[in-house]
């Protein structure tokens, strides 16, 4: 069954870039949804099931940290794997996001294959 | 009751390290995300008459400060096309502007991650503005460099708040 993926980033050009990278992974990707912040993402997640969320951290209205927290508090959404895609490479931030519930972390700038490999790893673990 | 020991003051990063860091970060971001490279350092005046895009954003953490960039509009177009995998002719001006903001965002995040590898930081949203405003002198320590790139120049200014 084709994967449904949600891309959360306040930068439209970054969402386009990630969308392209997702298309190059070789994974069977179906619908790709986009949201500009955590609030929009939660609204979308309330309407459609997705298999993977790729989210930035620094966003207006609701950042990626709160999004991951809110997903973890939800009985259904906590099973959806989240990969953080952020410029913040600090050890503290990576640890915090993983503790909150993120399953993967990719630091910008990244070559397309790095995100592709992280997606494959996270989806493999989640479906094992 | 003994007096608590004062927190040791962090040692300021030498000025030349900031310059070297700007070189490294600009080269890495351009190569990794835009499939582009610089042709070396140049002067800001070398391309001053050409139309330019400028963007800036603040960061909060340790240290706090601001990163601003100014880039020749003609040079931003091929960078945006390379990033998005689109034909340059199909790119609307709006998208080229968004791309300048995203370039500033990635340069800033990358710079700050190099300055402080342990503690996290918060980035503001990058905003488009006039080059004069973006590159206006700031208080505190500043590193400022320009590079020649395909069809123009890129100038980046990293300003650390006073005390950083």
Judged by CB atoms closer than 8 Å, whether chains meet at A109 and B106 is answered as yes
Q: Are A65 and B120 in contact (CB under 8 A)?
A: no
What pTM was computed for the model? 0.89
Residue of A nearest to B32 (CA): A111
Per-residue pLDDT of chain B (164 residues; tens, 9 = 90+): 555 555 554 455 555 588 999 999 999 999 999 999 999 999 887 777 889 999 999 999 888 999 999 999 999 999 999 999 999 999 999 999 999 999 999 999 999 988 877 787 889 999 999 999 998 988 888 999 999 999 999 999 999 987 65
Cα separation of B98 and B80, whole Å? 9
Residue of B nearest to A108 (CA): B106
Q: Is B74 helix (H, G, I), strand (E, B) or coil?
A: helix
State the complex-level ipTM. Answer: 0.87
Judged by CB atoms closer than 8 Å, whether chains meet at A108 and B109 is answered as yes
User: pLDDT tens digits for A44-83?
Assistant: 999 999 999 999 999 999 999 999 999 999 999 999 999 9
Within 8 A of A107 by CB-CB distance, chain B residues are: 113
CA B96 vs. chain centroid, Å, equals 16
Judged by CB atoms closer than 8 Å, whether chains meet at B105 and A107 is answered as no
Please report the domains of chain B, with CATH numbers, ordered by start residue: 15-159 (3.40.1550.10)
Please tell me the CATH code under which domain A3-127 is placed: 3.40.50.2300
Nearest CB partner across the interface for A13, out of B84, B110, B124: B84
Parallel, antiparallel or unpaired: strands B52-60 and B65-72: antiparallel
Judged by CB atoms closer than 8 Å, whether chains meet at A13 and B105 is answered as no
Q: Are B152 and B51 in contact (CB under 8 A)?
A: no
For chain A, domain boundaries: 3-127
Q: Is A126 helix (H, G, I), strand (E, B) or coil?
A: helix
C-alpha distances (whole Å) from B113 to each of A30, A90, A94, B35 are 34, 6, 12, 22
Cβ-Cβ pairs closer than 8 A, A with B, add up to 73
Torsions phi, psi for A60 (to 5 deg): -75, 160
């Amino acid at each position: 069954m084709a994967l449904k993926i949600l891309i959360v980033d306040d930068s439209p050009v970054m969402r386009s870039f990630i969308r392209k990278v997702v298309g190059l992974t070789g994974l069977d990707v179906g619908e790709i949804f986009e949201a500009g912040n955590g609030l929009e993402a939660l609204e979308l997640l309330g309407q459609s099931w997705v298999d993977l969320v790729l989210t930035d951290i620094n966003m207006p209205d609701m950042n990626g940290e709160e999004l991951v927290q809110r997903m973890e508090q939800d009985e259904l959404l906590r099973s959806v794997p989240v990969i953080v895609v952020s410029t913040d490479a600090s050890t503290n931030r990576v640890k915090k996001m993983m503790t909150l519930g993120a399953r993967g972390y990719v630091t910008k700038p990244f070559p397309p294959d790095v995100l592709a490999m992280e997606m494959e790893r996270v989806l493999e673990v989640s479906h094992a | 009751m003994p007096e608590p020991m004062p927190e040791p003051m962090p040692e300021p990063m030498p000025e030349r390290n900031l310059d070297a860091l700007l070189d490294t970060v600009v080269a890495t971001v351009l190569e990794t995300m835009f499939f582009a490279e610089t042709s070396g350092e140049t002067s800001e005046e070398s391309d001053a008459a050409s139309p330019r895009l400028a963007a800036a954003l603040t960061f909060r953490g340790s240290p706090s400060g601001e990163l601003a960039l100014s880039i020749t509009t003609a040079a931003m177009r091929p960078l945006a096309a390379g990033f998005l995998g689109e034909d340059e002719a199909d790119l609307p001006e709006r998208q080229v502007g968004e791309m300048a903001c995203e370039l500033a965002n990635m340069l800033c995040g990358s710079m700050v991650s190099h300055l402080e590898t342990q503690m996290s930081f918060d980035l503001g949203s990058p905003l488009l503005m006039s080059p004069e405003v973006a590159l206006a002198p700031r208080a505190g320590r500043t590193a400022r460099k320009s590079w020649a790139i395909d069809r123009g120049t890129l100038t980046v200014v990293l300003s650390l708040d006073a005390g950083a």
